[in-house]
Structure 1
């Protein structure tokens, strides 16, 4: 059979009623056999078996969906009703057989395996179908029921042929064959019905033969997760949207709403029902559909069905008919049912609504007696304790223990992806002086399923949030994201851990963060992580993590990484605020957290000395390295000499160098400006340097110089202006020098233009004649 096929589901139902088998064996996770009664409690379908697995190397999650027209569901429910012994016979969904590829398991039932791509291509060509789904509908769903089993055999024989399955599929088939042989040995001459995906059927027939199984064939053991690993399965509500291939579910049939109608009412009524649903949704979205349009759509669908050789209108006939009747302009994208996959950007709005109508909006519901993971009950208890009510705004005073606890509970739910509330305001960094936060209610669609799935992370809300954060940190580098993005993830993980509460700052999480920081390749991104960790360690007494020894490990690792990356950085021009911030935060760590660091202060200062003297390093980084040394009490005597040397050799780099210097030693430079030391201050030296620049050099360097002096706040700029007036023996308001009637850059350009014009007039003697006249 094919998963989620009404035709196959009817065939299974007829077989059970006719054969009254002793055993019904179903392709599905065998670890659910002890809990099959849970599946038969009386749920509203669709539902799914959610399976999870986690160890130090691998994380896997999987969903096995079941809806009314799933052959597996019919086999379970009808088989139980006739007294057959019903069992799942596939390996557990977390088993390595499902994850041969490096990436975690995304879906168990992939119909798009490369091994039968060529066969399906030829079949589609032979029967004039655009897609495998349209081919399937023609051959099985809207075809006459007579001979269905024989057509299915022929179809899957063509797809599988004598191809050897991949190792994972072979392991699964061998395991399923063991169950079949054991059931045959115990059937006492009665039939054994095996319901599996059609791809596996030829191989299973070969492995088990047609006779009875060996009397000594035991029931296979159900694999258990290895020691130290966590794994299990729970039932979760599912929806038609999740089942739909247009939403990304590769192994399902598209348009589950249509196939539900097909299962309930038959092919003719399903086509009429689909047309009504599509027209109703379009009209509900204020897309005009007249009676004439409706007649035209039905006529087109009937004509297409006749032309394509369909005995009745199929799903694609109806959708093509509506599209042909309503859409008169050229489409930017092909009609989605002419292929497979999610909807593309630019899809016509009417087509989007047609797809949504064919999908349906049904959402499953679990029976109240369905066992749930411990996390579900713990969350309910936590919300009751904190008086958090769905649909109501929550305001938390973070200085109050009750408000802080309520905040932590809501943040833990947010980290786990549990819908219900969205934070609208609150502290955004460890140094943010905000002590209240507000959460607004949000749509809670899928909340029950998300809670059950989050149970894979732990039994308690705080534990589950900590594990989820550690997994985010581990996957940051594995995702192949650029360094900036990776560091952003790490910083977000660190702050989220604090928001979730000190208990979430587990040794595992902080150890993972520290190891990931050591692998970040960018200086700016590393500084971002360091800034977050250092601010939290120094200031965050609201959340109770100030001085946390686990945070200290992240700070230590990041400081060492900053200096290692800075010394190896060569080439480039301009000012990079990220790397300047990284050195500034490393400087702050040396000032305020020296006892935490394995990098000695003297070694850090010596590294800065080498960077400051390295001509291959970027100018702003050289200036920042010198500023770091100056701000830590050494290197001030070098500043004047290096400024003069740079102005003589590369005046175009002077502004960038000063930006780095001021970013790290702004206070020292401003304080030095008003002193009467024996030697000239840096401001005095810069005054001389800038005054001596040629007009062209000054104009070229002015933007960078302005950027550099922007590091000074207004009061310190005024102090520098006072020093400049003093050097010129002028009296007046220093503040007025900071206020110009126009952009200083435009004034400089105007002055340069005037000088050029004056020189041109002098060259031709025009300036002298004008003066004489």
Structure 2
């Protein structure tokens, strides 16, 4: 159903290779023969006109532009809720697919509904999808490469500078009275001298072939619904049947399957298989559903949308906006106010010039959030059908607009919903986008749900993986784990996703691949980047009731490799490398805190098993994960060759963990006069990274920083100021105020101390002063 957005029709006698197809004028006369109704795809005026013309013609067969493999799907149309689309795909290669969308206001859809309600055979007459999907050189979804813009030419001839506005005035705003014959004659004039080639020639040849076959089968009154650009090819002097067959001979062919899938107005606005996408499907839907006083009804609905958002819009606003829209239409010589006029009226009166309010109307009404629906009898792959059943069971209705979903994983229903959304994410079906949970508990999840038509295609692409969403997701996880290019971080993330999706059957393959990759990877930064996801996965085994067998062994193995490699990794780093490594250190430290702090044999932290890897010494060697990790950091922190940023951060981590009682001494050494100011500033930055509460509650450390900073010479202070500003700028505003108050308080106390007088020691001085001034002491 590709073609330029054109309209019009002409019917005349058509010789075809010695045969003559009897045609009838669209406006009256005989009702026998072939009537070709040229339309604009997705045009509400064309849709009403086609319905009226079919009711007048009462044909005994209807041919519609579209893939003929979909003929068997026509009978399902009355049970569908548009917008919907025909989806054609190659079973062996589902990503090769094409869509043919239909809306309520599509002329082809109205022709289908008329034919099915009247018991009239409805067939598609365009080039089969089997050829289009086989690698047609012009592509299955591209618009026709017309040499001229037919609408632009006709609009220019009528004195219009906007082709779309001309089409709306002469067709869409005529309340169903589309002048098929007149526009078709104009289209014939535009196409005069045009020789179709390539895909356009093949499409029109197949249309004529289908038309000849219908005549040969004995249908006496045939109505053809097609884009007006093709009307002259079906009504003018036509090539012979042999010539058309020669054009179609030897075309590549594949096996194609077709079905109906839901569509959205948002997708209809952005792309169309017709090659005739429209930017205002909501407006066109309104024109089709409300032919009576469409401007008044539209602006009243716009006022309702604004009121729903809390904006004050009165009936007087609506009345004045209607008057303005109608006045603009008169000034511009239009038979009816179009979308441009009602938008300008809404902007000036309803929205009072507020562009955000205009955008709201654009999103809610001009485009719309309508999502179509297909019936249960529609052909589906087992994966699609399983998802539909789960959507019903879990009470999750697919919708085209964003919907916020808060889940409490302690509830069975919400836990099942979470599993489904994570399984679909593994299959590339992004129905749900995870968000930031509002609570602090690990039992909460938030999602933003929005269904898109391409999700059906993703399900079809993965149909070979399994008949259920769970089975297909598990197989997909196993396939991803088996890929040679899978990195360590990818595999750890995959383990986490399997646990989130409750896919225990996929874990053995994924864990085996992860273990093999971790055993060979010697890059400590990659191991550190991968460990947090593994630890989170280990936790999910408790929170979600999912078995996490094998994870603990891999986590311990990775942590030991990190402990062995970290002392080397911190050597000889520049500022950028040190900052990057600290991010990994902080992440690993946070992850280790989540692990059960027991030794491999179940003993509590601190019970040595005699193991030693040489990473660090001390009593913590052989203890649980937390003790062994802190022992490694303690050993590194005592080195003299560390970057200041790393040394300061390790000191803070050990202090917060209760592993240091000499933090003040370490800070004094780091900020002594023997240290370069830049290194001292880096040490302070690492030590204070995160928050400033330590300085608020520890006067000694605050005094050390204050004394060091106030003792710097002017030039050195200027050098370290950017580092200090970055450090203190990262603190929350209340923390900065609290630090300032502590410093002010300390200064005030010091000042008051200087004013205190020891009267006993001052007595002699007082007596001397009194005698000098001639007063006796009392």
TM-score (norm 1): 0.58
Report what 1:178 is aligned to.
Answer: 206
Report what 1:312 is aligned to.
Answer: 336
Instruction: Indicate whether 1:86 and 2:117 are aligned.
Output: no
Report what 1:49 is aligned to.
Answer: 86
Report what 1:342 is aligned to.
Answer: none
Looking at CA atoms only, which structure, 1 or 2, has the larger radius of gyration? 2
Report what 1:33 is aligned to.
Answer: 71
Contact 1:455 1:464 in 2 (8 A): no
Give the SS at the match of 2:712.
helix
Contact 1:50 1:63 in 2 (8 A): yes
CA distance change for structure 1 residues 280 and 196 in 2, over 3 Å: closer, same or farther?
same
Contact 1:62 1:94 in 2 (8 A): no
How far apart are residue 31 of structure 1 and its match? Answer: 3.8
Q: In structure 2, what is the Cα distance between the partners aligned to 1:196 and 1:525?
A: 59
Q: In structure 2, what is the Cα distance between the partners aligned to 1:688 and 1:259?
A: 75
How far apart are residue 655 of structure 1 and its match? Answer: 0.7
1:689-700 paired onto structure 2 within 5 Å: 690=670, 693-694=673-674, 697-700=675-678
Q: In structure 2, what is the Cα distance between the partners aligned to 1:465 and 1:524?
A: 30
Q: In structure 2, what is the Cα distance between the partners aligned to 1:143 and 1:707?
A: 73
How far apart are residue 368 of structure 1 and its match? Answer: 5.3
Q: Which segments of 5 or more consecutive residues in structure 2 lack a partner in the other structure?
A: 1-38, 399-403, 593-598, 601-612, 616-627, 718-778
1:328-380, Cα deviation, whole Å (9 max, x unpaired): 54x6xxxxxxxxxxxxxxx3314522663445665544445445543355346
Q: In structure 2, what is the Cα distance between the partners aligned to 1:472 and 1:131?
A: 52
1:749 to 706, 709, 728: 709
CA distance change for structure 1 residues 709 and 147 in 2, over 3 Å: closer, same or farther?
closer
Report what 1:76 is aligned to.
Answer: 112
TM-score (norm 2): 0.58
Contact 2:84 2:373 in 1 (8 A): yes
Report what 1:374 is aligned to.
Answer: 382
Report what 2:681 is aligned to.
Answer: 703
RMSD over aligned CA atoms reads 6.8
Contact 1:584 1:664 in 2 (8 A): no
Give the SS at the match of 1:296.
helix
Give the SS at the match of 1:25.
strand
1:193-236, Cα deviation, whole Å (9 max, x unpaired): 54344456667889x9255578989999999867xxxx854434
Give the SS at the match of 1:313.
coil
Contact 1:48 1:64 in 2 (8 A): yes
CA distance change for structure 1 residues 131 and 286 in 2, over 3 Å: closer, same or farther?
farther
Give the SS at the match of 1:89.
coil
Instruction: Indicate whether 1:352 and 2:341 are aligned.
Output: no
Contact 1:22 1:85 in 2 (8 A): no
Between 245-254 and 137-146, report the one with greater CA deviation. 245-254
Give the SS at the match of 2:46.
helix
How far apart are residue 117 of structure 1 and its match? Answer: 9.5
1:271 to 295, 317, 328: 295
How far apart are residue 305 of structure 1 and its match? Answer: 2.0
Q: Which segments of 5 or more consecutive residues in structure 1 lack a partner in the other structure?
A: 332-346, 429-433, 479-485, 594-604, 609-629, 647-652, 675-682, 718-734, 758-773
How far apart are residue 141 of structure 1 and its match? Answer: 1.1
CA distance change for structure 1 residues 46 and 504 in 2, over 3 Å: closer, same or farther?
farther
CA distance change for structure 1 residues 13 and 539 in 2, over 3 Å: closer, same or farther?
closer
Q: In structure 2, what is the Cα distance between the partners aligned to 1:130 and 1:525?
A: 61
Q: In structure 2, what is the Cα distance between the partners aligned to 1:176 and 1:568?
A: 73
Give the SS at the match of 1:76.
helix
CA distance change for structure 1 residues 223 and 301 in 2, over 3 Å: closer, same or farther?
same
Report what 2:238 is aligned to.
Answer: 209
Report what 1:575 is aligned to.
Answer: 578
1:460-506, Cα deviation, whole Å (9 max, x unpaired): 0213435777999999x99xxxxxxx999987555223211235738
Between 45-54 and 466-475, report the one with greater CA deviation. 466-475
Contact 1:237 1:365 in 2 (8 A): yes
Report what 1:457 is aligned to.
Answer: 462
CA distance change for structure 1 residues 358 and 746 in 2, over 3 Å: closer, same or farther?
same
1:66 to 97, 102, 114: 102
Contact 1:539 1:546 in 2 (8 A): no
Q: In structure 1, what is the Cα distance between the partners aligned to 2:168 and 2:646?
A: 70
CA distance change for structure 1 residues 661 and 239 in 2, over 3 Å: closer, same or farther?
closer
Contact 2:131 2:253 in 1 (8 A): no
CA distance change for structure 1 residues 423 and 462 in 2, over 3 Å: closer, same or farther?
farther
Give the SS at the match of 2:578.
coil
Report what 1:7 is aligned to.
Answer: 45
1:390-409 paired onto structure 2 within 5 Å: 396=409, 408-409=419-420
Instruction: Indicate whether 1:137 and 2:168 are aligned.
Output: yes
CA distance change for structure 1 residues 445 and 507 in 2, over 3 Å: closer, same or farther?
same
Report what 1:617 is aligned to.
Answer: none
Report what 2:774 is aligned to.
Answer: none
CA distance change for structure 1 residues 736 and 533 in 2, over 3 Å: closer, same or farther?
closer
